[in-house]
Structure 1
């Protein structure tokens, strides 16, 4: 069965972070995955990537830009403050061993803003991507 491709053009600076397939968050949340603690510093590079939309356009804004100017980016900052750190982030362990966030960048930013040193993550192995792929 063929996977549907990701529905938006992925900027070059995000190709190492965003999967090139369309995937389902509900499917991801229903999986029984390994849960581990990861240092915030080990995931912090995500905060320098333009994952978030701004002014109706995707991939315009980094989480660190939001943190630096919460008055300008009120919507994303409010989402960050409302993020519930009782819920783990979801990451994929890529074929090369790197962890990249699938769901939880707002939670990661909140953890950094709060000075936390670790976050809890649920890890999807690279070879299990078909479990969340939309066909």
Structure 2
């Protein structure tokens, strides 16, 4: 599939530049991601914790304004996200995209935050090679 066939991520124009090398520029399907047959391994929480400082979550309908670290630091103020974090099932691996310079979380940010809150040293992960991105991409609809 060519990149032009992928459904573009609709919030790219308002996304903060700090997320440019973290968030994919196209819409992907979570069920397709979860159905990829990839080996499970472990990665240290320390290697991934930089994600917790990124404004990945919405607040009051505004995207890209809340960091997971802010949620952990003020669970009373951010009750919904904190509850979602505590409910996350860390038995399921995170999905990480293998990029040239670092690993980035595709799916599992709440599980990563929970692992950090619980003081875990490692998390289960599945590494997604860039060659598999077409397998999870949503395709543009013809109009």
Do they fold alike, i.e. is TM over 0.5?
Answer: yes
Consecutive unaligned residues in structure 1, runs of 5 or more: none
Deviation at 1:34, TM superposition (A): 2.4
Query: How many residue pairs are counted as aligned between the two chains?
Result: 134
TM-score (norm 2): 0.91
Q: Which residue in 2 is equivalent to 1:4? A: 7
CA RMSD of aligned residues (A): 0.9
User: Alignment partner for residue 56 of structure 1, among 56, 61, 68?
Assistant: 61
Structure 2: 5+ residue runs without aligned partners?
Answer: none
Larger Rg: 2
TM-score (norm 1): 0.96
Distance (whole Å) between structure 2 residues aligned to residue 21 and residue 93 of structure 1? 16
- In structure 1, the partner of 2:72 is 67
Which residue of structure 2 lines up, in the alignment, with residue 27 of structure 1?
A: 32
Partner of 2:114: 110
Runs (4+) of structure 1 moved beyond 4 Å? none
- Residues 14-61 of structure 1 show CA distances to partners (whole Å, capped at 9, x for unaligned) of 111100111100100011012210000000000000001001111110
